[in-house]
Structure 1
Amino acid sequence: MRIRTLALAAASGAALLAAVTLTPAAHADPARGAAPAAADLKEGSVSAADLLAKVTSCSQISNGKYRTDEETSATIPVCGKNGAVFWKADMDIDCDGEITAACNEDTDPWFQNGTAFTTSAGKPLNAEKLPYVVVPSTSSIWNYADAGIKGGGVVAVIYNNNVEYAVVGDTGPNKIIGEASYATAKALGIDPDPETGGAESGVTYILFKNSKVSPIESHSAAVTAGDALARQFIQNN
């Protein structure tokens, strides 16, 4: 669980499947380690443009707004749509969880060996291999659980016209928003270095309400669920 506050480098409508619980195909890897080829960055059949067209305006559901980093002002609202919530922010890199070659105390000055949500075996998530998103810890600004967002929930992360499906995997500071795992950044072509990487802006996070991938560590299940949920999101908005 993130407790640090991070400055980025240097410088409804059908209840959306009510609860999507999917298991991976028998041949699927539980998590993906290597970055995909550019042609694979659009996961599933829904384009970034189609998703972004549905989040051009914000109906704010948070009581206040979030900062993107400790030193910035609070300008980012959580917005509501039919079947989803979304925000547009930066991307800081979360390397917390299982100790790996890329994510450890040497590579990440703020490293913690746990995540708010765990694998089906009760172990921390693997930030290097599993695309996951960090949600702000509950505060007077917003309570993610009250909005139908839960650990293992499906998230469409959009950057530079590419879509990456991820899960809700960790919680962060209660006044800061815009953070995802090493694997999420790498898949989207963002520098995943936990100390110097990330994106300063231009990242859209669409979190589908009442969805849940099982097991949480299966990226293939997140992609399957994400594609179905994204199609329904476009239909209902």
Structure 2
Amino acid sequence: MRLRTLTLAAASGAALLAAGVLPANATASPTSAQEGTVSAADLLAKVSSCTQLSSGKYRTDEETAATVPVCGKNGAVFWKADMDIDCDGQRTTNCNEDRDPWYQADTAFHQSDGKPLKAESLPYVVVPSSSAIWNYANAGIKGGGVVAVIYNNKVEYAVVGDTGPTEIIGEASYATAKALGIDPDPETGGTDSGVTYLLFKNSKASPIESHSAAVTLGDQLARQFLSAN
């Protein structure tokens, strides 16, 4: 988990990636967003107001004030925050001790083969560890749960892949940032604001390491979310 303020990164152009076009066991990192058939604008229209679920609010970085609540909607929870870069898990070219001063070789949730996740290639989101502020498990959020990450009019589907500090929110994997056009550098990248994390309750991509599974299920859940809210 990054405990620092990050600079805003410019977003790049992106193309539509249709849901389900990759085999179910595909693990290659995404190259573009928007993903699926539901637009960022349609999803954001449903999360314009907040019914607060958390007992308190979260900080986006160690030195900032606590201003971010966890909000509830039918079938989902969401928050609006920054994006710090998580590069933990299996060592890869861009996620290792040399590239990331905060690198850890494990993730809270693991692949189907028991190994840690790969932050460089798998889009995943970090949720705050359970505390008096909010308990993600009690809200129907679990490892492998599907998340729509929305930034700069793009939608990227990810999974719940790791847990972070109990009082800080707003973090996702190297692959998530890269797909959304956010600088994925674990030390200097990320963005200070403008990211919406929409987590679908009681969902699970299977296997957790299959990005295509997350996209297929995420697109389905996003359409259900629009109908239910």
User: TM-score by structure 1 length?
Assistant: 0.89
**Equivalence for 2:26:** 30
Q: CA deviation at 1:25?
A: 7.8
1:86-235 matched pairs, under 5 angstroms: 86-235=78-227
**Distance of 1:158 and 1:225 partners within structure 2:** 16
1:52-91 matched pairs, under 5 angstroms: 52-91=44-83
| Alignment of 1:7 onto 2:4 | yes
**Distance of 1:91 and 1:45 partners within structure 2:** 24
Q: CA deviation at 1:28?
A: 4.6
Q: CA deviation at 1:42?
A: 1.4
**Distance of 1:57 and 1:9 partners within structure 2:** 26
**Distance of 1:42 and 1:221 partners within structure 2:** 16
- What SS does the corresponding residue of 1:49 show, helix, strand or coil? helix
Aligned amino acid, residue 31 of structure 2: A
TM-superposition CA deviations, 1:191-224 (whole Å, max 9, x none): 0000000010000000000000110000000000
| Alignment of 1:46 onto 2:42 | no
**Distance of 1:164 and 1:10 partners within structure 2:** 21
**Distance of 2:61 and 2:105 partners within structure 1:** 22
Q: CA deviation at 1:6?
A: 1.2
Task: Report how many aligned residue pairs link the two structures.
Answer: 218
- What SS does the corresponding residue of 1:133 show, helix, strand or coil? strand
Deviant stretches of 4+, over 4 Å = none
Give yes or no for contact 1:8–1:197 (8 Å, CA) kept in 2.
Answer: no
**Distance of 1:27 and 1:211 partners within structure 2:** 20
The Cα RMSD (Å) is: 1.5
Q: CA deviation at 1:233?
A: 0.2
User: Are the structure 2 counterparts of residues 30 and 231 from structure 1 closer, same or farther at C-alpha, using a change threshold of 3 Å?
Assistant: same
Give yes or no for contact 2:7–2:189 (8 Å, CA) kept in 1.
Answer: no
User: TM-score by structure 2 length?
Assistant: 0.92
**Distance of 1:34 and 1:99 partners within structure 2:** 19
User: Are the structure 2 counterparts of residues 106 and 214 from structure 1 closer, same or farther at C-alpha, using a change threshold of 3 Å?
Assistant: same
- What SS does the corresponding residue of 2:52 show, helix, strand or coil? coil
Gaps of 5+ in 1: 12-23
Give yes or no for contact 1:8–1:196 (8 Å, CA) kept in 2.
Answer: no
Q: CA deviation at 1:59?
A: 0.2
User: Are the structure 2 counterparts of residues 60 and 30 from structure 1 closer, same or farther at C-alpha, using a change threshold of 3 Å?
Assistant: same
TM-superposition CA deviations, 1:36-93 (whole Å, max 9, x none): 3xxxx11110000000000000000000000000000000000000000000000000
User: Are the structure 2 counterparts of residues 78 and 26 from structure 1 closer, same or farther at C-alpha, using a change threshold of 3 Å?
Assistant: closer
**Distance of 2:141 and 2:203 partners within structure 1:** 7
